[in-house]
Amino acid sequence: MLARRIIPCLDVKDGRVVKGINFVGLRDAGDPVECAARYSEGGADEICFLDITASHDERRTLFELVERTARAIAVPLTVGGGVRERRDVHDLLHAGADKVSTNSGAVANPSFVAEASRAYGSQAIVVAIDAKRVSAPGEPTRFSVFTHGGRRDTGLDAIEWAKRVVDLGAGEILLTSMDRDGTRDGYDIELTRAVVDAVSVPVIASGGVGNEAHIRDGFLLAGADAALAASIFHDGQHTVAEVKHYLLAAGVRVRPPEESDGPGPEGAAS
Amino acid sequence: MSATQRQVTIANLGLGNLHSVVQSFVRLGVTATITADPDELRRAERLVFPGQGAFRECAEVLSGEVGPALRDFIATGRPYLGICLGMQALFDTSEESEGQGLGVFPGRVVRFASDMHDEATGERLKVPHMGWNQVQTTHPMLEPDGWYYFVHSYYVVPDDPGLVAATSLYGTRFCAAVARDNVFACQFHPEKSHHAGARLLERFLAQ
């Protein structure tokens, strides 16, 4: 049967992997191609790049980077950040991305999701949703969709928005909890479960992973199809192989790391 | 013969992106010839037919000069590798749309049911079947219980069960690979299947 997927995520700025909490105090965490190759060797099921480059002029750097990464790895590559029109999807797919993720672009123009999925297939179109709890204590739980790196509240209900983009043709939802992102407190299980139950496409849980047990909970409690994590891998706290061995022991169906997929350089710090 | 001396031709029929298939061979030290020219396809030493997308477009392309060229190539007995839509194209028809495949093997292409559930967890299974799954096989091109990357909503049902080289489980047991003589074809994507996929391509090059 189908395995749950582990997806290391690389935040890319001006062609480099950066890390920082809530986009503050960004630090250089290395060359994206090298990081992607290392994670894929370690047993990552897929790699995700989120481009946080501010300037449009520097987008060329991203395309060149996607090309080099796609040459280096033999697992699927998802790329997001600044994707707003069909041309962006075309350029990224032609640079070697397997899937393209859009967030603000979908909110600004929902028909773009339909147009892109018709042109390139639903399987290539991921809609990223940044959701934040907006209900007061005691009120029924409500999550709102935020854009622009979490700065702008769209007023859209996250669950309804997820259903809508799937109806429009999104092939997958990348769901980030703004409340949990950077906290290392674990995924927002309630949010993730609500979206998993509401839509008919795979849901990637994101935001808040601090240890292996959080990933297990994302799968077993929230029912996520895939788990996205960044800092636990970048910090050398865990290798992908270690996480997978932990999940296998916990009864989660994942693709086991190959013998030759040992810890490698990413295990150096652990 | 070393890998660098081997020749591989990739059929470029405009059915999806060839980028990753080409790169997979580059990583194995082989520079592929990419062509849509019927004569070049016929002359290939070893032919790969990758494809993603709609059966209708595929059938349209095959109804032109490319279809007979591919059938001629297969008749030469030289190694043929079909990937995803390039596997489905070997059969007659598809539930997805009208149009004829190559008809190299009798059989049809059907869609996963929309109401499938995981036997163990009871969870509703999503279509497309997308991600890593294990195959059950004894075929020498593959590894028993090997993991490969799939993205598809349709799968082939050969009339002759003897064609099935591997199966996988997703709500139902479906055909993940077929093989006969010089023809091998898989529903999954070796070019996205990391080391297991690279080993399959190595074996194809060694034929």
- pLDDT (tens digit, 9 = 90+) per residue, B106-146? 999 999 998 999 888 788 898 889 999 999 999 999 999 99
pLDDT at B53: 80
User: To the nearest whole percent, how much of chain A has pLDDT over 90?
Assistant: 74
Q: How many CB pairs under 8 A join A and B?
A: 82
- pLDDT (tens digit, 9 = 90+) per residue, B25-77? 999 999 899 999 999 999 999 999 998 888 999 999 999 999 999 999 999 99
Q: Can you list the domains of chain A with their CATH numbers?
A: 5-257 (3.20.20.70)
**Measured between beta carbons, which residues in chain B are less than 8 angstroms from residue A5?**
131-132
Residues A59 and A45: beta-carbon distance below 8 Å? no
* Residue B58 is a catalytic residue: no
In degrees and rounded to multiples of 5, residue A84 shows phi and psi of -130, -20
Residues B166 and B139: beta-carbon distance below 8 Å? yes
What is the domain count for chain B? 1
For residue B93, give the CATH number of its domain: 3.40.50.880
- CA-nearest residue to A95 within chain B is B19
Residues A240 and A210: beta-carbon distance below 8 Å? no
Residue A226 to residue B131, Cβ atoms within 8 A: yes
CA dihedral A174, A180, A185, A186 (to 10 degrees): -20
Residues B94 and B48: beta-carbon distance below 8 Å? no
- pLDDT (tens digit, 9 = 90+) per residue, B87-115? 999 999 999 889 999 999 999 999 999 89
Least confident of A149-153, B36-40, B199-203: A149-153
Residue A74 to residue B20, Cβ atoms within 8 A: yes
pLDDT at B123: 83
pLDDT at A268: 36
**Separation of alpha carbons B85 and B58, rounded Å:** 8
Give me the domain span that covers residue B179. 3-206
Residue B132 to residue A5, Cβ atoms within 8 A: yes
* C-alpha distance from B7 to closest chain A C-alpha (Å): 20
Amino acid at A16: R
**Separation of alpha carbons B191 and B168, rounded Å:** 18
Buried b / exposed e over A110-120, threshold 16 CB at 10 Å, is bebbbbbbeeb
- Mutation test of the interface with chain A: which of B18, B192, B199, choosing the one with the most A Cβ atoms within 10 A? B192
